[in-house]
């Protein structure tokens, strides 16, 4: 028996996957700063309402990538953390405050 050449199936063109929406660096910076501020507020056990607002805004931001609420909450967190830093509360570092200030100013 002679071997016959098998027909190779025509390949469909490969579909390119849609690239995820890129986040600008300032928006990524505000998200990171908000997460850090939230962690610090939780560690200190202060401003429960602000913690809840930041958590809600982070969820909203991750859903629609609209950072307006994060900027507002970051400003509130900044004033609270500056007050805690003035009281010399352990754990509120100058780096944390400056990162939060930079994120708010990057608007």
**Residues 96/33, Cβ–Cβ less than 8 Å:** no
Predicted TM-score (pTM) above 0.75: no
Locate the domains of the chain by residue range.
25-105
pLDDT per residue rounded down to tens, the chain (107 residues): 667 666 665 666 666 555 445 556 777 899 999 999 999 999 999 999 999 999 999 999 999 999 999 999 999 999 999 999 999 888 889 999 999 999 999 88
């Amino acid at each position: 028996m002679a071997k016959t050449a098998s027909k190779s199936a025509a390949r469909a063109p490969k579909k390119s996957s849609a690239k995820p929406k890129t986040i600008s660096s300032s928006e990524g910076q505000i998200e990171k700063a908000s997460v850090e501020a939230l962690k610090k507020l939780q560690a200190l056990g202060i401003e429960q309402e602000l913690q809840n607002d930041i958590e809600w805004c982070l969820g909203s931001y991750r859903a629609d990538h609209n950072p307006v609420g994060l900027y507002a909450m970051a400003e509130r967190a900044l004033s609270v953390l500056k007050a805690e830093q003035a009281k010399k509360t352990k754990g509120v570092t100058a780096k944390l405050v400056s990162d939060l200030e930079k994120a708010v100013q990057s608007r």
